[in-house]
Amino acid sequence: MFLQQQTTNVFATPVPWLLDICIDCTCSISDSDFKTMQQEIVNLLLNIHRRSQFLKGYPSDFVSITAFETPDKIFGPSQPIEIVKMDNPQLLKGLCQWINSLKNDGGPTALYDAIVIGVKKLAQLDSKLPKQYLKVVLAVTDGMDNGSKTSCSSLPFPNSANIHLAVIGVGSSGRSELSKLAQKATSTHSIHKFDELFNAISISLANVIQQTTTVLR
């Protein structure tokens, strides 16, 4: 599924992205739902890669992944796919394979800790790049945070270092978490099922872009 018109106008937006995706890998997600989430995120990455083919003259997007299972197990892929320059098809392939290798076997949900790690990764990368990027930590969860060492009140938002937070909550528990993060996030979006995730991410990114007052070049 590539670039369906009703959901993917955001992919044609001529603004380069630095995107960290925080993926919930806790056991509260069923095997079938977890597989669906993996497929939806891989589809997102393929569409971001596709952007590089028609947004000529703009820097490539960069994507990193932060997977969270427990407060003591928050991780991402190692080099060379720790942070992927999305116009590189070989690195993209490696990142998609890594996402498909994830397991839903974590315990307490450490969402806030994962978000903080995502912010640090984007800030470090941004300091090394000459151009301005739209920087977004995109978090996907089906439950409320019940394990982080970081409190919701201490999350570095809104707009810390011009980094935006977008959160997608799946199901009733995920929806409850959105109400807690409403004051921190630039965009919150609730969905019922994981097969709505690609559409929800597209909407979330569009919301962030619409609320960004600085025009990036």
170 domain residue, yes or no: yes
Task: Count the domains in the chain.
Answer: 1
Whether residue 10 has pLDDT greater than 80: yes
Whether residue 54 has pLDDT greater than 60: yes
Residues 107-159 pLDDT 10s: 889 999 999 999 999 999 999 998 889 999 999 999 889 989 999 999 988 76
Whether residue 2 has pLDDT greater than 70: no
217 domain residue, yes or no: no
CB 166 within 8 Å of CB 187: yes
Domain at 89, CATH number? 3.40.50.410
Domain that holds residue 56: 9-211
Q: How far is CA 28 from the centre of its chain?
A: 19
* Cα separation, 16 vs 8, whole angstroms: 15
Task: Extract the tokens encoding 21.
Answer: 């995706």
4 domain residue, yes or no: no
155 domain residue, yes or no: yes
- Closest to 27 (Cα-Cα) out of 159, 146, 158: 146
71 domain residue, yes or no: yes
Whether residue 3 has pLDDT greater than 70: no
Helix, strand, coil shares of the chain as percentages rounded to 5?
40, 20, 40
Q: What is the pLDDT of residue 5?
A: 43
Whether residue 23 has pLDDT greater than 50: yes
2 domain residue, yes or no: no
Whether residue 171 has pLDDT greater than 70: yes
Residues 73-120 pLDDT 10s: 999 999 999 999 999 999 999 999 999 999 999 888 999 999 999 999
CB neighbours (10 Å) of residue 70? 16
Percentage of the chain beyond pLDDT 70 is: 93
| pTM for the whole structure | 0.92
135 domain residue, yes or no: yes
1 domain residue, yes or no: no
Q: What is the pLDDT of residue 213?
A: 56
pLDDT, average across residues 7-17: 83
